[in-house]
Chain A
Amino acid sequence: MTRNNFDFSEAGGCGTSSCSCKSQDTGKAEDVTKRDFLKGSAYAAGGISLTSALTLFTFGGSPAQAKEDETAISSKQRWGMLIDADKCGDDCDTCVSACSEENGWKNTGNPLTDTIWIRKIKVKNPETEHETTMPLMCLHCEKPPCVDVCPTGASFRRDDGIVLVDRHICIGCRYCMMACPYKARSFAHEAVEDQKEHAPRGIGCVESCTLCVHKIDKGEQPACVSACSKSAGGAMLFGDLNDPESEISQTIKKYATTQMRADLGLNVGVRYQNI
């Protein structure tokens, strides 16, 4: 993987003194150059302003169809997400705290070892000084580099497109963290107590956004998406990319959307709009 055009080393909090990122706190946006950020992506200039129209989309969102409990997932679905940066509030961290609440992770306050399942990033166009903020998490690639490099097979892609770590066989080598161009994974450095019963997590394993797989399997939406539409801008739309009738498919058909680092050809499941 070449990562030179898209250096996130400062995002997510590297903690070095030369680092110019604003803050390591959850939800505080970090600076990434917009030009870097968009380099190679299928960026369409002049995003259509959808400010109120998208509210309708998000509220009518197409939640996962509840599958029968006993049936296995299948590749008929491909779960994805569309994030409208225009609707994402600058100082809003609703999605981040919803994720942390749902999955029981907390920032440790140590930027070098922090748990990051989802974070807010801020991208700035150096010429116009225009800033955009948006959440960034595992983008659930169709061709995930983390899966390619995993020596044990712990990093895997579910049939329905969700990229996960099987923490039962993860040995904590962290190759996947290096391979991920989005810096979406983190390592559990410290012992965890009082986990949520639906979200086991513990020391010695790499972890990342699961797209709230435990909720999707029950026909619910990821926690960040519900929280955003309930008490924030409604910037996140979740749905089945394989279903041409789903709201998300309809929207990406109609409007210009962006795959981050599209040049890498990973075909990500989480896409952006208006960045």
Chain B
Amino acid sequence: MKRAVLAMGVLGLAIFSAVQMTFVAPVNAGAQQLTEFRIAQAASDNNKSDKDTKASGKTKPDAAKLGTNHGSAVNGGECIRPTKEMRKNHMDMILHKRDETMYKGIRTKDASLKQCISCHAIKGDEGTFIKATDPKHFCRGCHDQVAVRIDCFDCHASRPEVKKDSAHLNPHQKRLSPFALVQDKKATATALNSFLGGQANDKK
């Protein structure tokens, strides 16, 4: 099977479908095969224009092991699902989440794109988080190789926002409504009534 996949990989156009096959393969070994396939593919890749991807794969052994770009740059913690599941299903998860958010207003962290980006953030040479325009971006590790092109980052931020207050980076911290302090509706209403009509004091 592995050999067959490799053979196909040589044919530029067939690469994508080969990977897809390994992706949809229900066996757990599928993901492992994909990884090995990818390394082999990178090694046999004669296309010099793809220097960056190759370079990152070579200088970061961890990244090479996974065949992706995250290396040690992941901001701590584990992925939201087991890695194998993520490899196969991440697109369905985020697209599902997208519709839940758009139409139903459900904004839980789980599988939101914001969440992926906040954790899968990679620091570049300047020490700042890189954007998706950089081939070393986490989401491009595989996509570039298998010629998947996503347009998400035309609109979505592809790196965590740099803000003065870093509260937003902590997903556990609920932001306080500035209006939490002026919740005493009854008192306000009474004051208002007395102001407007002068007859509301007796309602106290």
A interface list, Cβ under 8 A from B: 52-53, 56-57, 59-63, 66-67, 69-73, 156, 158, 160, 164, 166-168, 191-192, 194-198, 200-205, 213-214, 216-221, 226, 230, 247
Find chain B residues with CB under 8 A from A158 CB. 103, 105
Cα A168 to Cα B99 in complex, Å, equals 9
Find chain A residues with CB under 8 A from B191 CB. 56
Asked whether B179 lies within 8 Å of A221 as measured between CB atoms, the reply is: yes
Find chain B residues with CB under 8 A from A59 CB. 182, 188
Known: A72-B105, A218-B107, A219-B177. A200 touches B185 (CB 8 A): no
**A-B interface pairs (CB < 8 A), number:** 95
Q: Sample 9 A-B pairs with CB under 8 A, ordered by A number.
A: A53-B192, A56-B195, A60-B182, A63-B179, A158-B105, A166-B103, A196-B157, A197-B168, A200-B157
Is B117 located at the chain interface by the 8 A CB criterion? Answer: yes
- What is the chain A residue whose CB lies nearest that of B162? A194
Asked whether B196 lies within 8 Å of A53 as measured between CB atoms, the reply is: yes
B interface list, Cβ under 8 A from A: 98, 100, 102-108, 114, 117-118, 154-157, 160-161, 168, 175, 177-179, 182, 184-185, 187-189, 191-192, 195-196
Cα A73 to Cα B185 in complex, Å, equals 24
- What is the chain A residue whose CB lies nearest that of B95? A168
Known: A59-B182, A197-B161, A226-B179. A217 touches B105 (CB 8 A): yes
Find chain B residues with CB under 8 A from A63 CB. 177, 179
Question: Smallest CB–CB gap between B116 and chain A, Å?
Answer: 11
Q: Which of B107, B155, B156, B184 contacts A214 (CB 8 A)?
A: B107
